[in-house]
């Protein structure tokens, strides 16, 4: 079926979408930069341009900065470190948007199955969503045996999965260990374009030398975000969570503020949509960018052509409980 296009001047269709969300019991959400636009985070294009021009890289495009090829160019690497550090400092100051608070509300009313985000700003933590992948998918586990039956304890899993990593930590190129970006003057060093040494590697090398063994190389630290051409370092934790969610019967997929251009995300959205449609559910896409009918015609049911926060305001008028 063709995608149903909706704009702000179509109250009947907006109500149809609101009713769909109101009836849903297990909502999967996929988000992109569009949900953070109104938080006050400076445009990444602006931040990048200012850093690139300072370094004489006027022909470098924004996407180039998020490509793994930067590691082969020392100058581009310096620009990337300064850019990531500046963005991290700005993100600390921002507040969650109405769309973020809507996600928290979905959790509060028991509808939220999970959020998967392309964003690296960690605003989801400010609304109380758990983000530790080591928590797993959650669910139920056997508790202590009691007579006459076995009790069950609900395990809280990760509520928001960062698909592209986040700006919280630095990660080692060599050992993959993570370090607090704020400790030991690391932020000032990355702001100057430097790559700090990994304390885990340094500690391991020192321990070997004390035993009279050969020293090992000490890795450099990098922002813990995933660039184009790289695999997520915690993909082994993310994949089981995705498979869990596909098998739990989600009945609504909300895709908010993303243009769906990244291949891996396209595959994920298609898989989620297939699971949702198998339960008779719907896929709702909120974004200004028109989804391609040839690519998404059998995936997306509703396209709401609107700002995410403005749509949330409208939704709350139609469904105050949300």
Q: Which of 236, 247, 251, 232 is nearest to 139 (CA)?
A: 247
- How many other C-beta atoms are found inside a 10 Å radius of the C-beta of residue 122? 18
Domain boundaries, the chain: 4-40+96-164+232-318, 42-93, 165-225
pLDDT tens track for 16-73? 999 999 999 999 999 999 999 999 886 565 566 666 666 666 666 667 778 999 999 9
Q: In this structure, what token pair is assigned to residue 260?
A: 């769906």
Handedness of CA 64, 163, 262, 7 (dihedral sign): negative
Cβ partners under 8 Å of residue 161, min gap 6: 114, 115, 116, 117, 131, 133, 238, 241
Separation of alpha carbons 298 and 2, rounded Å: 7
Give me the residues paired with residue 180 across strands. 169
How many residues are given for the chain? 322
Active site amino acids: 164
Reduced to 3 states, what is the DSSP secondary structure of residue 172? strand
Instruction: Kindly give the pairing relationship between strand 282-286 and strand 302-304.
Output: parallel
Torsions phi, psi for 165 (to 5 deg): 75, -165
Does 201 carry a binding-site annotation?
A: yes
Handedness of CA 158, 160, 163, 165 (dihedral sign): negative
Does 160 carry a binding-site annotation?
A: no
Q: Which of 27, 44, 33, 100 is nearest to 309 (CA)?
A: 100
State the DSSP string of 271-309: HHHHHHHHTT-EEEEE-SSPPPHHHHTTT-SEEE-S-HH
Give me the residues paired with residue 163 across strands. none
pLDDT tens track for 159-185? 999 999 999 999 999 999 999 999 999
Q: What is the mean pLDDT of residues 138-167?
A: 66
Give the gyration radius of the chain's Cα atoms. 22
**pTM of the predicted protein model:** 0.91
Cα(first)–Cα(last) distance of the chain, in Å?
Answer: 28
Domain 4-40+96-164+232-318 has CATH 3.40.50.1220: yes
pLDDT band at 1 (very low <50, low <70, confident <90, very high): confident
pLDDT tens track for 249-286? 999 999 999 999 999 999 999 999 999 999 999 999 99
For residue 304, count CB atoms less than 10 angstroms from its CB and return exposed for 0-12, middle for 13-18, buried for 19 or more: buried
Separation of alpha carbons 43 and 37, rounded Å: 8
Does 198 carry a binding-site annotation?
A: yes
């Amino acid at each position: 079926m063709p995608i149903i296009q909706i704009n702000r001047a179509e109250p009947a269709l907006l109500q149809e979408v609101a009713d769909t969300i109101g009836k849903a019991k297990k909502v999967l959400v996929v988000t992109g930069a569009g949900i953070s636009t109104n938080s006050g985070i400076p445009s990444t294009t602006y931040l990048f341009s200012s850093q690139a021009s300072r370094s004489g890289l006027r022909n470098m495009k924004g996407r180039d900065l998020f490509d793994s090829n930067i590691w082969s160019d020392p100058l581009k690497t310096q620009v990337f470190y300064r850019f990531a550090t500046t963005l991290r400092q700005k993100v600390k100051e921002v507040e969650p948007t109405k769309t973020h608070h809507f996600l928290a509300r979905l959790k509060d009313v028991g509808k939220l199955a999970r959020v998967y985000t392309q964003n690296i700003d960690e605003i989801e933590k400010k609304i109380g969503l758990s983000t530790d992948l080591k928590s797993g998918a959650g669910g139920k586990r056997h508790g202590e045996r009691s007579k006459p039956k076995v009790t069950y304890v609900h395990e809280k899993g990760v509520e928001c999965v960062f698909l592209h990593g986040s700006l919280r930590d630095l990660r080692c190129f060599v050992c993959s260990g993570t370090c607090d970006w704020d400790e030991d003057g690391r932020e000032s060093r990355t702001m100057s374009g430097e790559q700090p040494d990994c304390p885990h590697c340094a500690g391991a090398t020192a321990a070997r030398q004390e035993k009279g063994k050969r020293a090992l190389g000490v890795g450099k630290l990098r922002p813990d975000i995933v660039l184009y051409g790289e695999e997520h370092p915690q993909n082994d934790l993310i994949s089981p969570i995705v498979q869990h969610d596909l098998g739990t019967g989600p009945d609504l997929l909300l895709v908010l503020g993303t243009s769906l251009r990244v291949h891996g995300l396209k595959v994920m959205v298609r898989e989620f949509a297939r699971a949702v449609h198998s339960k008779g559910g719907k896929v709702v896409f909120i974004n200004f960018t028109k989804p391609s009918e040839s690519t998404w015609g059998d995936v997306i049911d509703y396209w709401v052509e609107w700002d995410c926060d403005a749509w949330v305001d409208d939704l709350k008028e139609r469904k105050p409980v949300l």
